């Protein structure tokens, strides 16, 4: 096949400091990966296995752009998360090899139409309309992984209008980065360009038009947006 009936939709690319962009493949999201967030949502942490949902690459909004308040919701929530960027093909990867698959890290916001998600949960339906919608994955510029970098001590934090709403350390995650990559790679073949949003700490809550969100993890580039 040498042509397409219309030009393909461009692949979103996340800026990387001083380098070409990181083209996004799939976006995998980990559910309930901080015990205090699981508790605030009314769940105990399940140590049996992590679980996932996905967002389309076309849900990406680059940090620094405004987010239009999305349709069909009256309860748009912020979830501040560490984003792990995959740089190599990974299938059935052992935990001990998993960090070799990581290209880098970033700050991300898993924006959520909480009312639609709650309705889906109640009816035992999929979460897609609550989680995977236009501009629902706000991603900051990536920081390439340093060879021996240990990031567990980094503080993850989200401020709304200058007031801290979420704060934890990355080592609070129930499932570690290598555990997540190893497990995901038994469910899917991971490819360069895939992103993993690794779950959010406690403190999630609603945002309204005019709110200014700023999320940080250590000295990674912050994720920033204004709701309009």
CA distance 15 to 31: 26
Binding segment for Mn ion (CB under 5 A), chosen from 98-106, 150-158, 193-201, 214-222, is: 193-201
Closest approach, Cβ 148 to Mn ion, in A, equals 28
Should residue 200 be labelled a site residue for Mn ion when binding is judged by CB under 5 A?
yes
Q: Which position's Cβ is nearest Mn ion?
A: 110
* Contact code string over 133-172 relative to Mn ion, x by CB under 5 A: ----------------------------------------
Give how many residues touch Mn ion by CB under 5 A.
Answer: 3
Closer by beta carbon to Mn ion, 94 or else 119: 119
CA distance 201 to 215: 12
Compute the CA torsion angle 196, 201, 203, 209 (nearest 10 deg): -20
Should residue 117 be labelled a site residue for Mn ion when binding is judged by CB under 5 A?
no
Closer by beta carbon to Mn ion, 88 or else 121: 121
Question: How many Å is the maximal CA-CA distance in the chain?
Answer: 54
Closer by beta carbon to Mn ion, 82 or else 151: 82
Strand-pair category, 195-197 with 80-86:
antiparallel
Closer by beta carbon to Mn ion, 158 or else 227: 158
Residue for token pair 């403190």: 203
Specify burial of residue 94 (Cβ count, 10 A radius: 0-12, 13-18, 19+). exposed
CA distance 149 to 152: 9
- Is the CB of residue 197 less than 8 Å from the CB of residue 83? yes
Closer by beta carbon to Mn ion, 79 or else 183: 79
Residues 53-92 touching Mn ion, rule: CB under 5 A, are 79
Closest approach, Cβ 79 to Mn ion, in A, equals 4
Q: Using CB under 5 A, list all residues that contact Mn ion.
A: 79, 110, 200
């Amino acid at each position: 096949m040498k042509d397409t009936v219309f030009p393909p939709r461009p692949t979103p690319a996340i800026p990387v400091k001083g380098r070409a962009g990181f083209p996004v493949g799939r976006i995998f999201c980990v559910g309930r990966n901080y015990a205090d967030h699981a508790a605030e949502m009314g769940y105990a942490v399940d140590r049996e296995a992590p679980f996932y949902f996905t967002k389309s690459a076309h849900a990406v909004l680059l940090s620094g752009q405004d987010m239009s308040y999305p349709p069909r919701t009256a309860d748009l929530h912020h979830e501040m998360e560490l984003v792990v960027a995959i740089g190599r093909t990974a299938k059935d990867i052992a935990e001990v090899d998993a960090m070799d698959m990581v290209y880098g890290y970033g700050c991300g916001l898993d924006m959520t139409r909480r009312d639609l998600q709650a309705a889906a949960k109640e009816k035992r339906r999929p979460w897609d309309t609550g989680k995977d919608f236009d501009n629902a994955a706000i991603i900051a510029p990536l920081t390439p992984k340093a060879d021996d970098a240990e990031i567990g001590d980094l503080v993850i934090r989200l401020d709304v209008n200058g007031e801290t709403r979420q704060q934890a350390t990355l080592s609070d995650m129930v499932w570690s980065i290598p555990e997540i990559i190893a497990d995901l790679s038994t469910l899917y073949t991971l490819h360069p360009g895939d992103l993993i949003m690794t779950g959010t700490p406690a403190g999630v809550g609603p945002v309204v038009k005019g709110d200014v969100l700023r999320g940080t993890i250590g000295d990674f580039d912050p994720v920033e947006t204004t709701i309009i």
